[in-house]
Amino acid sequence: MAIRNLRYEGDDILKKKSREVEVIDDKLQTLIDDMIETMHKYNGVGLAAVQVGILKRVIVIDLYDDKGPIVLINPIIIKTKGEQEVEEGCLSFPNQFAKVIRPAEVVAEYTDRNGKRMRVHAKELLAQAIAHEVDHLNGELFIDKIIPGTLEYIEPEE
């Protein structure tokens, strides 16, 4: 496992649409493990492959509960319900936080890392994380969706 280099604001790859994963092989499993390790190193809740420079439809999410990280390959949001105004940040935009409107609930279909097609009904933080990361796969950034006037820059602690 290895920490991958994150891509940051201004990197053109973040605006590109990621490609479907066609085969789940050892190389993809290594990418997934590296993404989880990278997300944990930077205390992220989610990470999309594009954020480490790989244009594949893979996301990892960890709510730091007892369930551990989840891996979503080729995720598709098939249903949303309600709205929530949430404070959001992004590992590709360090120390920047803003309010955005996200669905209160999402239903997503995806393939897990074992190749099994799955469905998740997510609420609150998990719904927010799935919506945020699926946006990344489509080349959309949270910074483009913020509620005007809510962007804050938090000075990093030394």
Tokens 């993809």 belong to which residue? 28
Is 37 catalytic? The answer is no
Q: What are phi and psi of 129, to 5 degrees?
A: -65, -45
d(C-alpha 104, C-alpha 13), whole Å = 29
The tokens describing 33, both together, are 């493990």
Name which of 51, 42, 45, 40 is nearest 18 in CA terms.
51
Looking at 22, 87, 133, 155, which residue is catalytic?
133
Residue positions annotated with a catalytic role: 133
